[in-house]
Amino acid sequence: MTSDCGRQRWWGAAAIALVCLAGCKRPEDQVDPKVRADGYYLAGTSAFLKGDFAEAHKAFEEVRKLNPGDPRLPAAEGEVYLSEMKLPEAIASFEDATKRDPKRSTNWSRLGYLYLLKNEPAKAKVALEKAIALNPKDFNAHEAMGDLTLKANDVDGAVTQYVLAAEVAQGTDRAELVLKATGELMKVNKAQRALEVLEDAVKKGIESPALWSEYGDRLVTAERLPEALAAYEKAAKGDPKDPTLWELAGEVRLKLGQAAEAEAAFRQSLAVEDRSVVHVALARLCQQKKDEACLKKELDLALEKASGEELRETTDLSDLLASLGRKKDALTLLRAVSEEPEQKGNFELQVKTARLARELKDEVTLKAACTRALAGGQAGLRCP
């Protein structure tokens, strides 16, 4: 770690160089070239951070002229090339960086990541292993190693690396890495393992609204409802602009038989954003209480706020209408959404539409929905 005194000397030298670069009257040949190089290095780094890559390259070129042996230079240029996605140039720069400063783990980490992008797994593995050996807390290296392992179809191995990365990362990266791990597990239907990863992360203090929400989802699947409720409420409090989190908390409250608390959660969701699906949920509560005035009010609001853009919104509203004896209106909604190009392959939706059409003796809709369902290639399907 640089001492305060050393830090002051560095900034002092850089400041002198920058003043001279800005038009100091002192002749440039009287200024130590390395001091001037430091000024250009600082200017190049500043330009890079601002996204001005062309200016960064110009400044670093001046550094090369004044102090060609600067061990920081190839890594700095490599970062610019990486941001520009100029992979050959970035690889060449970081290969040079590893030769000049072979004990800097970041150089190996970046090189491994670049080889991964270039689809050279053997080289990527060697570089990443060196990075981790030099610095076991290099979370970028662990994440890249996870990506590399995933490419080899080793999901468990990849998850191990992502979890290691999360444990040594800082800030929001920690939760994002855990979610990356659980996302890969869910792709291969390892819900229990995903729950274990999330549970372990929470115990270690890794959290975010998105992580609490995912944790809640996994707890619901595991039928651990009180814990799921706590997770959703933490997510909602952590992200007060997301209306779905209070809605999820309300749904769990319903499953726990807490009608009054569920209504309060739904009202909190509406306070964030007035949405049709929440009015449908409230209408269900009105049904349970046999409050006809309340039911009519919430149904009217649900219809008024319906956008038709969300599948769940349409199906929830359709189910509510059907339960109220308005099955023709329910079928109208289902038919409209089932005919949309992006929903034609939705097997469950097509069967749902076909069943209601059969009940209402709507042969045209029944045949169309059945045809779309059968086109999905579901084995052993018998159309309703």
Nearest to 194 by CA among 181, 177, 175: 181
d(CA 312, CA 290) in angstroms, rounded, equals 25
pLDDT value at position 30?
A: 65
Spatial separation of the C-alpha atoms in residues 110 and 101, rounded to whole Å: 13
Mean pLDDT value across residues 95-108: 96
**pLDDT average, residue stretch 189-201:** 98
Minimal CA–CA distance to 72: which of 50, 47, 93, 52? 93
Q: Are 253 and 235 within 8 A, CB to CB?
A: no
Residue range 269-273: average pLDDT? 97
Mean pLDDT of the chain: 91
pLDDT at residue 298 greater than cutoff 90? yes
**What is the number of other CB atoms lying within 10 angstroms of the CB of residue 190?**
17
Mean pLDDT to the nearest integer, 188-209: 97
**pLDDT greater than 90 at residue 255:** yes
Distances in Å between the Cα of 110 and the Cα atoms of 46, 50, 116, 160 are 20, 21, 10, 20
Residue 56 has pLDDT above 90, yes or no: yes
pLDDT (0 to 100) of residue 12: 43
Rounded mean pLDDT, 81-94: 96
For residue 20, pLDDT beyond 60: no
pLDDT class of 307 with cuts at 50, 70, 90: confident
Rounded to an integer, the average pLDDT of 299-310 is 91
Question: What pLDDT was estimated at residue 332?
Answer: 95
For helices 209-221 and 172-187, give the axis angle rounded to 10 degrees. Answer: 30
Query: Three-state SS across the chain?
Result: CCCHHHHHHHHHHHHHHHHHHCCCCCCHHHCCHHHHHHHHHHHHHHHHHCCCHHHHHHHHHHHHHHCCCCCCHHHHHHHHHHHCCCHHHHHHHHHHHHHHCCCCHHHHHHHHHHHHHCCCHHHHHHHHHHHHHHCCCCHHHHHHHHHHHHHCCCHHHHHHHHHHHHHHCCCHHHHHHHHHHHHHHHHCCCHHHHHHHHHHHHHCCCCCHHHHHHHHHHHHHCCCHHHHHHHHHHHHHHCCCCHHHHHHHHHHHHHCCCHHHHHHHHHHHHHHCCCHHHHHHHHHHHHHHCCHHHHHHHHHHHHHHCCCCCHHHHHHHHHHHHHCCCHHHHHHHHHHHHCCHHHCCCHHHHHHHHHHHHHCCCHHHHHHHHHHHHHCCCCCCCCC
Q: Which of 336, 307, 303 is nearest to 321 (CA)?
A: 303
Judged against a pLDDT cut of 90, whether residue 131 lies above it is answered with yes
d(CA 5, CA 209): 42
- Tell me: the pLDDT tens digits for 216-252? 999 999 999 999 999 999 999 999 999 999 999 999 9
Residues 350-378: tens digit of each pLDDT: 999 999 999 999 999 999 999 988 886 66
Task: Give yes or no for residue 1 having a pLDDT over 50.
Answer: no
Cα separation values, 299 from 160, 250, 295, Å = 48, 18, 6
CA distances from 328 to 187, 307, 346 (A): 38, 19, 21
Give the C-alpha separation, 94 to 213, whole Å: 39
pTM assigned to the model = 0.82
pLDDT digits (tens, 9 = 90+) for 21-42: 444 545 555 668 889 999 999 9
- In this prediction, residue 11 has a pLDDT band, given cuts at 50, 70 and 90, of very low
Distance, CA of 199 to CA of 219 (rounded, Å): 10
Please, which pLDDT band fits residue 308 given cuts at 50, 70 and 90?
confident
pLDDT exceeds 60 at position 2: no
User: Measured between alpha carbons, how far is 241 from 192 in angstroms, rounded to an integer?
Assistant: 30
Q: What average pLDDT does the segment 186-198 reach?
A: 97
Q: Token pair 């190089």 is at which residue?
A: 37
**Digit-coded pLDDT (tens) for 138-165:** 999 999 999 999 999 999 999 999 999 9
